[in-house]
Chains A and B, each alone.
Chain A
Amino acid sequence: MQRIICICGARPNFMKIAPLMAAFSKADGIEAMLVHTGQHYDTKMSELFFEDLGIPKPNINLEVGSASHAVQTAEIMRHFEPVVLDFKPHWVVVVGDVNSTIACALVASKLGVKVAHVEAGLRSFDRDMPEEINRVLTDSISDLLLVSEPSGLKHLKAEGVADEKVHFVGNVMIDTLMKNRERAAQSKILDELGLSPKEFATVTLHRPSNVDSVESLSSILDAFEKITADMRVVFPMHPRTRKNIEALGLAGRLDSMPRLLTPQPLGYLDFLKLMSESALVLTDSGGIQEETTILGVPCLTLRENTERPVTITEGTNQLVQPNADSILSAYAKVRSEGPCEGHRPELWDGHAAERIVEVFLAQA
């Protein structure tokens, strides 16, 4: 019997862990436990998602909460170590690139427990991003690296990772999307917000480089103002972004844009429905770049770089400098060119979690 601990801590993790836990529970010879580090503790960010996605309640919640990088990482490590000593797993499975990812991987590796990283090998090569540091470090101490797109294979090879540790399995986030498309279609969010299909844009922003400075945020809001003259914009707001807008004195600008809607963060199903019916999406999130590619919705990624190049080469994504001119020019182009084609990237077929389980069973 292989004992496996799966880690989740932040919202992006939940969509990835759900299909994994489901696949593990069906596998003979695997006993999986879910540990939630509590890195994200906001109900809107956490519990809502668990319910929507049908993720089993975590066996343990470390309830670490928010803090500086060092303190949060430290608290997760401190609380996770006794869990490993107690449960004595054969594997610790971490996903993505948040502090919970590296903290739990480090604790496991020092205790001689094997580490598997889901979504391994992604690189933006931007060391100013804490996510890049987290993912690079996690990969360097992982025993099994489960890769979602071909660029990941290339990067890991360049970093000297042995081929036998690396497996191209596809994208677990897309497993969740495909499983929930029909349920999401039932969502009433469009009615609730008074929107018509394909006649609005969806926006999400949370990166410090976009939301921490008054210059960048103002410029982005300038673009939104112009866009709202053309169509409504829905901007479900991350707590950090909302806090910043107030702190930077920009709340007034939002008030002056009646066609810019700023609901609280939405549950998974509502948000999936919103994205799929959008004319386009503007975001700086990692996962949304992937989801829009599968949904066939044009995506403008407000960043200088991306660690998901397949969404650009095969999908509906493009990088746009986060300033008003660049955003508006890209917006105009999308509007004039109409809906885009985009191919479904290799292995983004809803079966990634199954493949991952097969890899584990082969390790035994």
Chain B
Amino acid sequence: MRRIVTVVGARPQFVKAAALSRAFAAWNVGCGLAGFRERIVHTGQHYDENMSKVFFDELEIPRPVVNLEIGSGRHGEQTAAMLVGIEEVLLAEEPDCVLVYGDTNSTLAGALVAAKLGIPVAHVEAGLRSYNRRMPEEINRVLTDRVSSLLFCPTSGAVQCLEKEGIRRGVHRVGDVMYDSVLHNARLSAGSSRVVATLGLGSKAFCLGTVHRQENTDDIDRLRSIFSAFGRMDLPVVIPVHPRTRKVLLGEGGVSDNVHLIEPVGYLDMLMLVKHSRLVLTDSGGLQKEAYWLGVPCITLREETEWVELVDCGANQLVGASTEAILAAVGRVERGEVGVDHRRAPGLYGDGRSAERIVKILAGEEGRGVCSDADC
């Protein structure tokens, strides 16, 4: 039996972890004692009321066995608390492998503790680089990759980024687990989500916006500039917003009439909002991809992105925070000059069976890395 401890802390990570958990369960059927036993540790980095029982049940996510309840805080403080809590769990569980996702402080903490304890680390969504060291996420992913024995890359671009850093052992291109999740959950949410109707909007008659990166929310000029663009758009813009950002915006004198600030929504509702929007404007990494998979053009409110392939194939435009640049990009979408065409980059993120591929590799060669390129 292979014992896995999965460390997660932020909502997007739960959704990806769920895809792996489903794949472990499928693998375990008929395996007897040779299967996987997975324990999920939630650091509590994001405390989210939407993480209720209903959310877990709806998305079929296994409940974490431990919630460290670390909560928010300064990077150093938060990471420090996670190091201590995770070490306790790993000493008690003695897993064969620690699985971490993405680029949060939880990711880094899990990887660092495991590495010092001599437990192999497997990093899902390895090799992504924005090359912007001012982003805490970039620091987290660079460090995690350095101590990982298995690096599961979503794209060949990610494999190349690792190659440039001299990392070749244990690197596997498996496709994007998030795509697995979107395929699985879009089906679920079509049945259950009422969010679009509740907002009183028609399909494709609104735009979806999210702003949550430090570089935007903590910089009042950038925030103003972004929301100024939103206010000048023709279509309504729906913005699920963090209470902290809402407070700042209201302090700035509110938002234009066509901009609808709403409470943060659950994962399934978010998928529905993306699917029915005309256009997504965001600084989130995950949303850039979800928009692509759901066929919706994306405008990225940053100067760089880890998902460069989406820019190269015309599905995504990188515009930063400038009001004029944002509006110019919106214009290009409206005129049909750019859009989403999956034929331009077939199999870019795999085929929706990345989780299955990861489990096979874990079953075959945990901790011993062999460079391979699994074709998707």
Which range holds the interface residue count of chain A? Answer: 20 to 34
Q: Is B139 an interface residue (CB 8 A)?
A: yes
A140 x B142 contact (CB < 8 A): yes
**Set B77, B117, B136: member contacting A81, Cβ < 8 A:** B77
B146 x A137 contact (CB < 8 A): yes
B165 x A78 contact (CB < 8 A): no
Q: How many residue pairs bridge A and B at CB < 8 Å?
A: 82
Given A73-B112, A74-B84, A158-B166, are A112 and B76 neighbors across the interface (CB < 8 Å)? no
Using Cβ atoms and an 8 Å threshold, which residues of chain B touch A110?
75-76, 79, 136, 139
Residue of B with least CB distance to A114: B133
Nearest CB of A to B137, in Å: 11
- One digit per residue, 1 when the CB lies within 8 angstroms of any chain A CB and 0 when it does not, for chain B 80-94 equals 110110110000000
Using Cβ atoms and an 8 Å threshold, which residues of chain A touch B147?
127, 133, 136-137
Kindly specify which of A63-71, A242-250, A276-284, A318-326 makes contact with the partner chain.
A63-71
Q: How far apart are the CA atoms of A220 and B165 in the complex, in Å?
A: 39
Q: Is B74 an interface residue (CB 8 A)?
A: yes
Nearest CB of A to B332, in Å: 34
Given A136-B146, A140-B143, are A71 and B76 neighbors across the interface (CB < 8 Å)? no
A160 x B74 contact (CB < 8 A): no
Q: Is A111 an interface residue (CB 8 A)?
A: yes
Q: Is B113 an interface residue (CB 8 A)?
A: yes
Given A69-B116, A70-B116, A158-B166, are A141 and B143 neighbors across the interface (CB < 8 Å)? yes
Given A70-B87, A141-B139, A141-B143, are A133 and B77 neighbors across the interface (CB < 8 Å)? no
- One digit per residue, 1 when the CB lies within 8 angstroms of any chain A CB and 0 when it does not, for chain B 317-354 equals 00000000000000000000000000000000000000
Q: How far apart are the CA atoms of A110 and B108 in the complex, in Å?
A: 12
Q: How far apart are the CA atoms of A137 and B115 in the complex, in Å?
A: 11
Q: Is B191 an interface residue (CB 8 A)?
A: no
**Chain A contacts with B in 65-90, Cβ cutoff 8 A:** 68-71, 73-75, 77-78, 80-81
Which range holds the interface residue count of chain B? Answer: 20 to 34
Q: Is B244 an interface residue (CB 8 A)?
A: no
Residue of A with least CB distance to B86: A70
A78 x B142 contact (CB < 8 A): no
Q: What are 8 A-B contacts defined by CB distance under 8 Å?
A: A69-B117, A73-B112, A106-B79, A109-B133, A136-B147, A141-B133, A141-B139, A158-B166
- Apart from A70-B112, A133-B115: 10 A-B pairs, beta carbons within 8 A: A68-B87, A71-B83, A78-B76, A107-B75, A109-B133, A110-B75, A137-B147, A140-B142, A141-B142, A159-B165
